[in-house]
Amino acid sequence: MKPTATRHNFRAASSSAIQNKRVQKAVRNTAGLLARMRATTVNTKPEFEELRNWGRNRKLLVSENLEKWVAQFKAQVEQQGGVVHRAKDAAEAGRIISEIARERGITAAVKSKSMTSEEVGLNDILQDAGITVTETDLGEFIVQLAGEHPSHILAPAIHRNQDDVRKLFTEKLGAPADLDVEGLVRFARKVLRHKFLEAGMGITGGNFAVADTGTVAIVTNEGNGRMCTTVPPVHVALVGIEKLIPSIKDLPDFLSLLTCSATGQRASSYISMTTGPRRTNETEGPEEFHVVLLDNGRSSIAASPWREMLHCLHCGSCLNHCPVYHAVGGHAYESSYPGPMGSVLSTLLWGKQSYPELANACTLCGRCVDVCAVKIPLANYHRTLRHQGGSNSQTSYLAARLASHPGAYRRGIHALRRMLRTQPLTKVLPKINKSVANWQSCRVLPVAGEEQPFRDWWHQHQPKGQAPKLKRVETKEVPSVPEDKKAGTADREELLALYRQRAGALGVEIVETSVAELSGLIGNLLKDESVSSVALPRAGWPQKLDERVAEILAGADCQTVSCEDETGWNMAALANAQLGITYSSAFLAETGSLIYPAGAGNGTLASLLPEVHLAISASSTLLSDLNAYFKNEAGPLPSRLTQIAGPSRTGDIEGTMTVGVHGPRRVIHWILSDLDTGQ
């Protein structure tokens, strides 16, 4: 959202916002929940503090020389067959993206949540160019239906409770009036499924742009990000230049910083890592991959004293912990970026002429600084954005001169004490002084007591020369015990136990079994879920295991949908499959997740579109974390690499966790102990 030409009046906006107790309650509930979720995870991660320092240092390296990293990123994307566009401002970004659509005759686009696109006002620009844009993140979808703007960078519809959403769905979409939260989510799934299949363009933001590989990584929980990066023929990622990170080796730790800070998740449900468009022989993915790199004032911020503002990961943690945000909600900020990060960023991006008061929207309580993923000194930034270049007020200067002069100070304190004892004066003061009136709106003026002033007392004071009544104990510094290094040294059994615990907590149904048991297990699953159609991509399975699975399915009279050649999926048939069976080439203990690289014949969408996803792995492919995976697979990255942690989920309606938004509601993982991967 671009700010309007009028000056933002935060006092007026916030004082009217705090009147709305319904919105205030909704915001407090969800933001409070997110803050508690963060605390729960961070409290069990002793290395998190060190990780935050590391993140800040890596980001300092980038913000020191943005152009260098941009150039490297651009070269890498181009080498992979993608196109990089540079946009100096919002209008140019809008023009570039409408042009891409217009040249290809695209009239419908789907979009996953991107605050950068809100900054640009992209929806309005595309709408004016005749392109329909559908928001696909549930929260953004709700906000778009209501004709509003997001009020939180992570949970856009945080200000709406389920009654609001129910009413909105009934009015705008003709949904039944008696749906519960799960019913509302299922309803949105149906509406949006069509939009994905019809869209000519998928638009996303980018959480990270990796300079040394040209990869754009996005995190989503619902699966809409995967849809937008895989289903439409053209994928456009709109990314601020500050989102660059030096290396793919940095990505796993940055992802962890982001998701832990945002929601306390060790990994979001889906992490989509896109490196160029679909490659020869690949059966899915966009034919074109465009990255629009947006400056829009970022270069100037990099050269300013507020440079670290560019380090922001947009995790939303500062909003979730800010007392002011909790009280007023996001809309009072009248910017796409609300809360502490928003006050600073909006002031820097659009200037004090647009946002003259946001630097004051902070009590300097410092809570945001303590929870910032990359330790941005937000409180200090609020402070230093006040009175830039000094106040030049003679009154202020005179007051400081007097306050730093001992004699004048003493006389001043005397006078002030006398004044605060004179009740009639406290009635007159608010009439002549606005600050006093504001203070008295909900407080009384303090009253100085009749007790002896300290300095008078001190002149008479004689120490008693007593024996100490409070005993002092000499304290010794306790040497800190070094933490054990964990994941790296754990043996396989420990790793597997960790995987069971982490994936299990996400709702993944884990079965450790053998090839011989497959037939019976599949039979039961087909019966339980009344499956008549199964999506079964055939590439990449070891020991012709796919043939075995296909035989079992044929025996059970099940239709199978596959994607053997470059014509790819029959999307209508894929969308109708109730079960997707995939081979996962690696799974990760730390995040309880599965890994899917794109490749010839690898139909990764089978893990996304059906209601139930069955992943099969060899137990030997268990690794500690994404770092270990990148170490193991030293070659070039696939065009799309996907990490899946549990089912598709959302908390966008009142923070109520609901599964099966765009992806599966059930994720089942069978780990085969006797499968030889030939590695």
Partner 1 sequence: MSLPNHVSLFLTCSAETLYPDVGRACVKVLEAAGFTVEFRQEQTCCGQKWLNTNETREAKLMARHFLQVFESAEVIVAPSSSCVDTVRNQYPDLFSDDPGLHARFVALGEKTYEFCEFLDKAGIRELPVHPNPVPTTYHSTCRTLRGIGLRGVAENYLQQLLGDRFIELPESETCCGFGGTFSVKLPEVSGQLLQDKLDNIFSTGAEVVTALDLSCMTHLSAGAKKQGRTLRFAHLAELLAEALDGAEQ
In the range 323-382, which residues lie near partner 1 by CB under 8 A? 323-324, 327-328, 357, 360-367, 369-370
Coil, helix or strand at residue 134: strand
Minimum distance from residue 48 beta carbon to partner 1 (Å): 17
Minimum distance from residue 311 beta carbon to partner 1 (Å): 19
Q: Which amino acid is at 134?
A: T
Question: What own/partner pairs with CB < 8 Å and gap ≥ 24 does 139-146 have?
Answer: 139/113, 139/650, 139/652, 140/111, 140/113, 141/188, 141/192, 142/168, 142/652, 142/653, 145/169, 145/172, 145/173
Could you say whether residue 431 binds partner 1 (CB under 8 A)? no
Minimum distance from residue 452 beta carbon to partner 1 (Å): 7
Report the C-alpha gap between 293 and 242 in whole angstroms. 9
Could you say whether residue 385 binds partner 1 (CB under 8 A)? yes
Question: What own/partner pairs with CB < 8 Å and gap ≥ 24 does 353-356 have?
Answer: 353/7, 354/3, 354/7, 354/8, 355/3, 355/7, 355/8, 355/10, 356/7, 356/8
Could you say whether residue 60 binds partner 1 (CB under 8 A)? no
Nearer to partner 1, 360 or 519 (CB): 360
Q: Which of 387, 527, 544, 631 binds partner 1 (CB under 8 A)?
A: 387
Could you say whether residue 36 binds partner 1 (CB under 8 A)? no
Binding flags for partner 1, 291-330, as an x/- string (CB under 8 A): --------------------------------xx--xx--
Minimum distance from residue 317 beta carbon to partner 1 (Å): 15
Minimum distance from residue 19 beta carbon to partner 1 (Å): 9
Residue 52 CA: distances (Å) to CA of 55, 127, 153, 322, 342:
5, 40, 20, 19, 20
Nearer to partner 1, 247 or 433 (CB): 433
Nearest Cα to Cα of residue 341 among 358, 318, 320? 318
Could you say whether residue 14 binds partner 1 (CB under 8 A)? yes
Minimum distance from residue 456 beta carbon to partner 1 (Å): 9
Q: Which of 7, 11, 88, 631 binds partner 1 (CB under 8 A)?
A: 11
Question: CB–CB of 288/235 below 8 Å?
Answer: yes
Coil, helix or strand at residue 475: coil
Question: CB–CB of 640/604 below 8 Å?
Answer: yes
Site for partner 1 in 436-475 (CB under 8 A): 436, 438-439, 441-446, 448-449, 451-455, 457-458, 461, 463-464, 466, 468-475
Binding flags for partner 1, 389-428, as an x/- string (CB under 8 A): -xx-x--xx-xxx-xxxx--x---x--xx--x--------
Nearer to partner 1, 190 or 418 (CB): 418
Query: For residue 247, how many other CB atoms are within 10 A of its CB?
Result: 13
Minimum distance from residue 265 beta carbon to partner 1 (Å): 23
Minimum distance from residue 657 beta carbon to partner 1 (Å): 24
Question: CB–CB of 240/299 below 8 Å?
Answer: no
Minimum distance from residue 392 beta carbon to partner 1 (Å): 8
Nearer to partner 1, 443 or 485 (CB): 443
Classify residue 478 by burial, with Cβ atoms within 10 Å: 0-12, 13-18, 19+: exposed
Q: Which of 7, 18, 130, 353 binds partner 1 (CB under 8 A)?
A: 18
Q: Which of 280, 424, 460, 477 binds partner 1 (CB under 8 A)?
A: 477
Nearer to partner 1, 88 or 409 (CB): 409
Q: Which amino acid is at 29?
A: N
Q: Which amino acid is at 381?
A: Y
Residue 282 CA: distances (Å) to CA of 430, 537, 566, 642, 657:
74, 12, 6, 15, 35
Report the C-alpha gap between 381 and 360 in whole angstroms. 11
Minimum distance from residue 482 beta carbon to partner 1 (Å): 22
Could you say whether residue 479 binds partner 1 (CB under 8 A)? no
Nearer to partner 1, 428 or 497 (CB): 428
Q: Which amino acid is at 164?
A: D
Nearer to partner 1, 105 or 406 (CB): 406
Report the C-alpha gap between 198 and 108 in whole angstroms. 7
Minimum distance from residue 426 beta carbon to partner 1 (Å): 11
Q: Which two tokens stand for residue 611?
A: 């209601």
Nearer to partner 1, 448 or 518 (CB): 448
